[in-house]
Chains A and B, each alone.
Chain A
């Protein structure tokens, strides 16, 4: 199985400040079709995961532009330009190219 490793595992951020989460995969997520199947999710407390970013850097419908994704191959980053209170929760990366699909351990973001 592809191992997805997220760092850090927890973040405490002052509102208005930036935040960054790293996700590294044990194998390249670049498909022969030219796409890289790396996704970012936010799971707010008591809710199901919601898609933020697909294919490394594309924001899903309705996702604020303070969220951005970058990276290639095996190294990826999710950035929040200015953290807001509603951003609290656990962030997961997921790879969708190799079966079984696998998730990172999660990064818990809290507000200072």
Chain B
């Protein structure tokens, strides 16, 4: 069964770039769509976007101008970058092979 694990800094300063990586094990990343979803503390779920292993992407229009998702098939990983972050970007970030497998999530706090 595919397992996903998020990694990256837990604290990012305002106006900087949030960078996270999702490592996929138990299966190849070279198929399926790979997604990022986030959840502000105590709130609901927001879909950020997805990437296909070939590199094609689709982003939530609400974040599209600030988000990039990329894939590295040689490392079986995909990544998320969110530029110009504010406190509103504070959330638990999940990577997923939606809709079935999700990572355990990683909390990213935006604060100086």
Co-complex (A, B): yes
Residues of A at under 8 Å CB distance from B?
Answer: 1, 39, 47-51, 54, 60, 92, 94, 96, 99-106
Tell me whether A100 and B99 are in contact (CB under 8 A). Answer: no
Tell me whether B100 and A103 are in contact (CB under 8 A). Answer: no
25 A-B contact pairs sorted by A residue (CB < 8 Å): A39-B99, A47-B104, A48-B102, A48-B104, A48-B105, A49-B45, A49-B102, A50-B102, A51-B99, A51-B100, A92-B44, A92-B45, A94-B45, A100-B47, A100-B49, A100-B60, A100-B61, A101-B47, A101-B98, A103-B45, A103-B46, A104-B44, A105-B44, A106-B44, A106-B45
**B64-106 interface mask toward A, CB cutoff 8 Å, 1 = contact, 0 = none?**
0000000000000000000000000000001000111011110
User: What is the total number of residues of chain B having a CB less than 8 Å from a CB of chain A?
Assistant: 18
A106 to B43, CA, bound (A): 9
Dominant secondary structure at the B interface: loop
Q: Which residues of A contact B94 (CB under 8 A)?
A: 48-49
In this complex, the member of B45, B46, B58, B94 whose beta carbon has the largest number of chain A beta carbons within 10 angstroms is B45
In this complex, the member of B46, B94, B99 whose beta carbon has the largest number of chain A beta carbons within 10 angstroms is B99
Tell me whether B103 and A48 are in contact (CB under 8 A). Answer: yes
In this complex, the member of A54, A60, A100, A104 whose beta carbon has the largest number of chain B beta carbons within 10 angstroms is A100
B20 CB, nearest partner CB in chain A, Å: 14
Q: Which residues of A contact B61 (CB under 8 A)?
A: 1, 100
B102 CB, nearest partner CB in chain A, Å: 4
A7 to B82, CA, bound (A): 33
A31 to B11, CA, bound (A): 41
Q: Which residues of B contact A39 (CB under 8 A)?
A: 99
Closest residue to B64 on the A side, CB-wise?
A100
B40 CB, nearest partner CB in chain A, Å: 12
Closest residue to B94 on the A side, CB-wise?
A48
12 additional A-B residue pairs with CB within 8 Å, beyond A48-B102, A92-B44: A39-B99, A47-B104, A48-B104, A48-B105, A51-B100, A92-B45, A94-B45, A94-B99, A96-B99, A100-B49, A100-B62, A103-B46
